[in-house]
Amino acid sequence: MTDLVTDLVDRPTVGATHGRTTAAAAVGGGVLIAGWGHAVPERRVTNHDLARHLDTSDDWIVERTGIHERRLAGPGESTGPLAIAAARMALDRAAVTPTEVDLVIVATSTPERPLPATAALVAAELGATAGAFDLNAACAGFVYGLASAAALVGQGVARTVLLVGADTMSSIIDPDDRSTAVLFGDGAAACVLVGAGPPEGNGSTEPVRTTGAGAGAPGLVAADLVGDPAGVDLLVVPAGGSGRPASAETVAGHEHFLRMDGREVFRRAVRAVAASVGRTLAQAGCTADDVALFVPHQANARIVDAVLPRIGIPAERTSSTVHRFGNTSAASIPLALAEAADAGTLEPGDLVLLCGFGAGLTVGSALWRWNTPGPAGPNGPAGPIGPVEGAL
């Protein structure tokens, strides 16, 4: 009879060989986005396609939202597989192996399953023994994840973090509800964040700040994570959680689908985004003129149009993908960031401003100093955002 402790507990775990770092080593030169990746479902659904079974029209949707089409998941394209495909691309482009990843964070409100966390599924599929957790801050999830990851790297808790924003909104959208079905899409995008280590030639043992306008180091310059509690009931999925577990009754009542007060979300989102961006820039001692690229949550072109004059950033310095993908929730900001980065619009030292808002209402802004040379990371470009390949 084998000794269970010796056999199962003390046996070395395959792949458990990351070089975890000390705080002093990790904070030195800030945090780098070393690579990024993306994955969207194959199926492209245009407004005209939707108008075949919904009482809507291409004109109505384009005028009210700026959305022309979205990608909707087919078999094998749910949150887990999309996240894994985006993560693989990001790791490849960063030239980082799964065993070098210390932590996997998946921002999502449509996890692959209630348990385990989608992040754990991603780590398992990649063969990484990294810590793994999901983060639900709805459509602001990627910004919350970025601020959290930067803080964890800055404190030396992790050196290499795989951060994914992934959602399959079609799994919680009533396809017969024209007020929500036209707005949302499915997708995933990922970033590999790496502690940059001590700056070259700096023999100082003093920790180098990773936040603040004067820091100059890559990574998080300032962040603002806030809530609008008066909006807590504006975007809800009533059933399927512990308060009201799924049952035949909840399914019959369509309570597992998203319900939204669109007008009120619109009104509150414009104000909240403008205020959050203002606080983030003030915290950093920057103005809108210092921002090289604004990457807002891609919920609706009209919301972005209303925000831009309030914050003083022109449309030319704003990344937009909403016309092609709709609102992909936690994936929307990293997809738009990846597209801009792939297009070579970012130079080392550029300040990138990200802002998300979503159910809760959660609101979050982050000012990030870019320092990835070239448009693609160490392993070159991966081509335009397209369907998941091979990972499913």
Q: Is 65 in the site for ligand COA (CB under 6 A)?
A: yes
* 74 touches ligand COA by CB under 6 A: no
The verdict on 56 binding ligand COA (CB under 6 A) reads: yes
Where does this chain touch ligand COA (CB under 6 A) — which range of 60-68, 84-92, 106-114, 337-345? 60-68
Instruction: From 39-47, 259-267, 309-317, 334-342, give the range in contact with ligand COA by CB under 6 A.
Output: 259-267
Q: Which of residues 297-316 bind ligand COA (CB under 6 A)?
A: 299-300
- Asked if 354 is part of the footprint of ligand COA (rule: CB under 6 A), the reply reads no
Is 68 annotated as catalytic? no
> Cα–Cα distances in Å, from 275 out to 111, 270, 356, 365?
30, 9, 12, 10
User: Which residue's C-beta sits nearest to ligand COA?
Assistant: 262
Q: Is 297 a residue of the active site?
A: yes
Among residues 38, 47, 139, 191, which one is catalytic? 139
Which of 90, 123, 182, 385 touches ligand COA by CB under 6 A?
182
Indicate whether 133 belongs to the interface with ligand COA (CB under 6 A): no
Q: Is 52 in the site for ligand COA (CB under 6 A)?
A: no
46 lies in the site for ligand COA, by CB under 6 A = no
Selecting among 297, 300, 355, 371, the annotated active-site residue is 297
239 part of the interface to ligand COA, by CB under 6 A: no
- Part in contact with ligand COA (CB under 6 A); list of ranges 261-269, 334-342, 345-353, 368-376: 261-269
Out of 179, 320, 345, 379, the residue judged to bind ligand COA by CB under 6 A? 179
* Contact present, 322 and 298 (Cβ < 8 Å): yes
Specify the stretch interacting with ligand COA by CB under 6 A; choose among 88-96, 258-266, 275-283, 381-389: 258-266
Q: Please work out the total of residues on this chain that contact ligand COA, with binding judged by CB under 6 A.
A: 18
Q: How far is the CB of 234 from ligand COA (least distance, A)?
A: 8
What are the structure tokens assigned to 20, written together?
A: 């975890």
CB of 131 to ligand COA, least distance (A): 28
Determine which residue in the list 52, 203, 263, 383 makes contact with ligand COA, applying CB under 6 A: 263
Please say if 327 is a catalytic residue: yes
Task: Give the catalytic positions in this structure.
Answer: 139, 297, 327
Q: What residue ranges bind ligand COA (CB under 6 A)?
A: 56, 60-61, 64-65, 139, 178-179, 182, 260, 262-263, 265-266, 299-300, 327, 358
